[in-house]
């Protein structure tokens, strides 16, 4: 297993480009299953999760064509198998996103049931009940969700008990080909849902209200091909900004979108960062100062994103003062805390809150990445630590961060990969 070796103590400084959003590219790749025409997706990030989704399409008989610029052309008319096997689903829970499109376009889908994961039990019950409400016959047996439908799904009025991102996306995709109108209430408002809706509209879908908590879809008999550029990754953007703030640095991020990062930018300003933005860039300057600890609470968009919680915990670890971080979206998302304590951080978990008192410095130690965003937070902790840190199990980070060591090196970090 590869490891990352990081010699900390350097302020990040420089300019990098932000990749396409993983959480937008994954549902958009699944949406290609809604048409027999070719869909061209541009600005696809170069990530392990994307490779897994392409592999999943591949094992169904679809052959996506990827060019050297990571544009991909997908034509799913060659599909022969409607099955998402456990071997792929267990490495990437977002495989569940093929359920809605397969059922809507082909009337059949067998998708392995995603199990628990490092950050909690993460059920998919809301995906299933919504599709059942649209007329699908769904059984959960032998570890699989086995779904079928004679004819078209039926438009329905769906209320999501909990705001779920992939749940909203699955129902939204299914509704584009349903017979009649579907209303999704308490829909997720995340920008990635909006990006998916815009791609579906380019494919001929009729959707309104995306970006609000009520999405209305008028089902169509057929969708067609399109060309769509994936939006910038707001979580990658936020991660580099926090890394720069924690290391008292100065960076400029290009090809990103400040308008979808308001909650994160305002916390960084509270931490003492000087932030300037343009339409597609963000600059952060700490003027060499130590950040101030901040308190925050995660919640669905537009509130503070759970996917940025661990990185702020790392910044608080070396900030002045103390801050409390409360996680309300997932039940077990503090695995990084125990690793940071091993690096000398002063942190205490109380229920779904971690209380952090900043210390003047962390000390390098061997640590273990446990999930995607926890890995990013350990890299930030390592960048500010004295001496060397070795981060083990970094396959987690390769799932969601494009070329992280190259980008960090461009910003001056002393980081290298140790092949395992």
C-alpha span between 260 and 343 (Å, rounded) = 33
Q: Are 256 and 282 in contact (CB under 8 A)?
A: yes
226 catalytic residue (yes or no) = no
Residue 229: is the preceding peptide bond cis (ω within 30°)? no
Q: DSSP letter string over 131-170?
A: HHHTT-EEEEETTEEEEE-SS--B--EEE-SS--HHHHHH
Q: How far is the CB of 166 from ligand UD1 (least distance, A)?
A: 3
Distance CA 58, CA 61 (A): 5
Alpha helix locations (H) across 203-346? 234-246, 262-270, 309-317, 335-342
Q: In this structure, is the dihedral angle defined by the CA atoms of residues 253, 259, 263 and 265, taken in order, positive or negative?
A: positive
**CA–CA gap between residue 400 and residue 87 (Å, rounded):** 19
Query: In this structure, is the dihedral angle defined by the CA atoms of residues 246, 248, 249 and 253, taken in order, positive or negative?
Result: positive
Q: Is beta strand 414-418 parallel, antiparallel or unpaired with respect to 3-7?
A: antiparallel
- Which CB sits closer to ligand UD1, 129 or 409? 129
- Which residues of the shown chain bind ligand UD1 in the complex (CB under 6 A)? 23, 26, 93-94, 122-127, 162, 164-167, 192, 306-307, 329-330
Q: Are 248 and 288 in contact (CB under 8 A)?
A: yes
| CA–CA distance, 254 with 410 (Å, rounded to integer) | 14
Q: How far is CA 274 from CA 13, 157, 296, in A?
A: 14, 46, 19
Distance (Å, rounded) from C-alpha 379 to C-alpha 357? 19
Token pair belonging to 307: 């996917």
The answer to whether 198 and 24 are in contact (CB under 8 A) is: no
Which CB atom, from 192 or from 236, has the smaller least distance to ligand UD1?
192
Of the candidates 128, 162, 135, the residue with the CA atom closest to the CA atom of residue 149:
135
Q: Hey, which residues does 210 pair with through a beta bridge? A: 212
What's the Cα-to-Cα distance from 87 to each of 84, 114, 166, 406, rounded to whole Å? 9, 10, 20, 30
Distance between CA atoms of residues 298 and 408, nearest Å? 26
DSSP run (H or E) holding 26: helix 22-31
User: Catalytic pick from 59, 117, 199, 226?
Assistant: 117
Q: How many CB atoms lie within 10 A of CB 141?
A: 8
- State the DSSP code for 28: H
HSE-CB for 151 with a 13 A CA cutoff: 5
Which positions are catalytic? 117
């Amino acid at each position: 297993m590869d490891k990352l070796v990081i010699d900390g103590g350097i302020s990040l400084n420089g300019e990098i480009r932000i990749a396409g959003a993983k959480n937008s590219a994954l549902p958009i790749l699944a949406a290609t299953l809604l048409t027999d025409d070719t869909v061209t997706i541009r600005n696809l990030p170069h990530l392990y999760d994307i490779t897994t989704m392409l592999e999943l399409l591949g094992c169904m008989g679809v052959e996506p064509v990827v060019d050297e610029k990571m544009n991909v052309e997908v034509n799913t008319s060659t599909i022969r198998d409607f099955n998402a096997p456990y071997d792929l689903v267990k490495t990437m829970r977002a495989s569940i996103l093929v359920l809605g499109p397969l059922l809507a376009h082909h009337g059949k889908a067998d998708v392995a049931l995603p199990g628990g994961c490092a950050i909690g039990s993460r059920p998919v019950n809301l995906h299933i009940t919504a599709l059942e409400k649209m007329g699908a016959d769904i059984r959960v047996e032998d570890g699989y969700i086995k779904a079928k439908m004679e004819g078209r799904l039926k438009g329905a009025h769906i209320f999501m008990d909990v705001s779920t991102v992939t749940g909203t996306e699955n129902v939204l995709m299914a509704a584009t080909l349903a017979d009649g109108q579907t209303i999704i209430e308490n829909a997720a408002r995340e920008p990635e849902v909006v990006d998916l809706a815009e791609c579906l509209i380019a494919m001929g879908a009729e959707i309104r209200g995306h970006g609000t908590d009520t999405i209305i879809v008028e089902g169509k008999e057929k969708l067609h091909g399109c060309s769509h550029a994936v939006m910038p990754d707001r979580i990658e953007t936020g991660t580099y900004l926090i890394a720069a703030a924690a290391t008292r640095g100065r960076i400029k991020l290009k090809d990103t979108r400040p308008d979808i990062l308001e909650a994160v930018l305002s916390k960084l300003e509270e931490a003492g960062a000087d932030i300037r933005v343009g339409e597609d860039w963000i600059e952060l300057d700490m003027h060499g100062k130590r950040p101030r600890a901040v308190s925050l609470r995660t919640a669905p968009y537009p509130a503070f994103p759970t996917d940025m919680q661990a990185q702020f915990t790392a910044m608080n670890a070396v900030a002045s003062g103390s801050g409390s971080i409360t996680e309300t979206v997932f039940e077990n998302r503090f695995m990084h805390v125990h690793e940071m304590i091993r690096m000398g951080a002063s942190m205490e978990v109380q229920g779904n809150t971690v209380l952090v008192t900043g210390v003047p410095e962390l000390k390098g130690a061997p640590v273990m990445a446990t999930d995607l965003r926890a890995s990013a937070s350990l890299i930030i902790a390592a960048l500010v630590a004295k001496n060397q840190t070795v981060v083990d199990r970094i396959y987690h980070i390769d799932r969601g961060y494009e070329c992280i060591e190259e980008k960090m090196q461009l910003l001056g970090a002393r980081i290298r990969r140790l092949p395992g």
